[in-house]
Amino acid sequence: MMDVDLRKLPRHIAVIMDGNGRWARKHAMGRISGHKKGAEAVRITVRTCREIGIKVLTLYAFSTENWLRPDNEVQALMHLLEEYLRSELHEMLENGIRLTTIGDTEALKEPFKGILRETMAKTSHNREMTLNLALSYGGRDEIIAAIQKLVQDVHSGKLQPQEISKDLFPNYLYTTGLPDPDLLIRTSGEYRISNFLLWQSAYTEFYFTDVLWPDFNREELFRAIAEFQRRERRFGLTSDQIQEEQTS
């Protein structure tokens, strides 16, 4: 398994799955075929993460901005996601995988919305791994939605303004209850965050690869984790302080 140390795994891996369209073009196919192949890479990634013991996997499947793509592409993506859930339910139940979502999922359409709700309910007791799908997700919208809830709580007297802190605030985000991502992977050679997990990625390690998402596989995942394990996370401290912490 390459150089992966199973005792030092990231607890939470987040992935910006990018490059389906370019993969399709490279193979002289339509964009939808790229998304289809991308769904295969999702299966491989989920399976591998579960197998090695990753606790949380967040996949950026559809952004708030992606709604502005051509209608037929949006519909095809929703259809593929629906198909994915239908085909994977059995495996999720068998492997203790809990499905959760982040994003404005109210904006999703039936029948996908229904299948999503059903899959979350059926897998809600699973504890081995959380598969967290970012759907109709935007980091800025998430922060605004959190502020709206927070202000409501202040208005109703449930919360005092001075109680608002960096520890309390995340309870209002979509990701409440989940640890921050330790490792964020972006495929397809783009070096940007594209409105993903803005608050949560404050101290996340970023890994960029030129591999297009449909070509992502076990080896690529291990490569990313091995690179993560070679890094020193300092959280603003000095290297000496971190070494001391590790030996004490």
Contact partners, residue 57, CB within 8 Å, separation at least 6: 12, 13, 14, 15, 45, 46, 49, 129, 130, 131, 132
- Write out the binding residues for ligand IPE, residues 98-127 only, by CB under 6 A: none
By the criterion CB under 5 A, which residues form the site for Mg ion? 18
**What sign results for the dihedral spanned by CA atoms 65, 105, 218, 179?**
positive
List b or e across 89-128, with b for residues whose CB sees 16 or more CB atoms inside 10 angstroms. beebeebebbbbbbbbbeebeeebbebbeebbeebeebee
173-192 residues near ligand IPE, rule: CB under 6 A: 188, 190, 192
Give whichever of 215 and 227 is closer to ligand IPE, judged by the CB atom.
215
Q: x/- binding map, residues 199-228, to ligand IPE, per CB under 6 A?
A: --------------x---------------
x/- map, 46-65, ligand IPE, by CB under 6 A: --------------xxxx-x
Between 27 and 86, whose beta carbon lies closer to ligand IPE? 27
Quick check: is 66 catalytic?
Answer: yes
Task: Tell me how far apart the alpha carbons of residues 106 and 163 are, in angstroms, rounded to a whole number.
Answer: 30
Structure tokens given for 193: 């965050």
Instruction: Give the residue with the Cβ less far from ligand IPE, 66 or 217.
Output: 66
Task: Write out the residues near ligand IPE by the rule CB under 6 A.
Answer: 16-22, 60-63, 65-66, 77, 188, 190, 192, 194, 213
Residues designated as active site:
18, 66
